Structure 1
Amino acid sequence: MTLIRNISQQRFKKIMEQTVDRLYASLYPLCKDKAMCEDIMQEAYIRLWNNLEQVKDDEAVLALLRTYARNIFLDEVRKAARKQQGMQHHVPEEKADSPEDYLRNRELHAQLQAAINKLPPQQQLIFRLHKEHALSYKQISAQMKIATGTIEVQMNRALKSLKSELAHLNGQP
């Protein structure tokens, strides 16, 4: 048992030495934050260690690590978006013209959030990054590692879905 463990540790160490710089180089442009990048890399290597027995091709391990890192990053972005969304619900009240206006605005906001929450996960993430975090399509494309054209298509679909979902607010059927 100790021999197998030693072999696994040596293999893991070799993989780390061969991939750490390239993983960092591919992850940093996504995060743009050294500490976050290092935390994500640590989590990616932990996942690799936990699944090392299933990894058969050490040559393809960098792609696997990049996938782990990208998924961890996207999870962090989603957590931040949820946290931001939660903070938006606790924004100090703005002075409304009347109590009726305040209630109407609050109800509209709740309906909008409910409609956004119904979007498919990727559309929802792209919509929130663009509309709530004011990121450009190019920035979103770089963060999510998908084509700018895909971002545009997903945004158009999200807007179409929201328009359809919220059509009743304009008196449309």
Structure 2
Amino acid sequence: MNVHVAGNDVGTKTLAIVGALKGLEGPLLPILHEIQAEFGYVPQESLPIIAQELNLSRAEVHGVVTFYHDYRDHPAGRHVLKLCRAEACQSMGGDDIAARVKALLGIDFHQTTLDGAVTLEPVYCLGLCSCAPSAMLDGEVHGRLDADLAAELVAEARR
């Protein structure tokens, strides 16, 4: 949706985003997506503002943020590499691919490389079960991962 937001602080920007989108039917998810697009994550300071403006409890907003794996509570790296951890991908060698990627990056899931280049995240289905194992780098999906393609994706993310 890309709401234009003036101001510098989290509260001002959050209020502007909520104000622009709260008229939608079921506005919470679009608001959270827009806040994450603005900040790169969903700041904790935004949650009480969203709750108040939508007449929800803080617990309801927190529950939605923590339920969906795409919302982050801290900034991601410049690139986000997501590895599918669903059963189809695991059965086709996903565990070995995950171990290789973790070793190449020197991080575990939910971590970011020290240089801030790459955040590694698990996901539980990218919809490419017939092309397992799969990954997503910055929104672009890749199927039939093997050790070489995994290394190529890591190298691309490191650039």
In which range does the TM-score fall when normalised by the shorter chain?
Answer: under 0.3
Between structure 1 and structure 2, the one with the greater Rg is 1
Higher helix share: 1
Normalised by the length of structure 1, the TM-score is 0.24
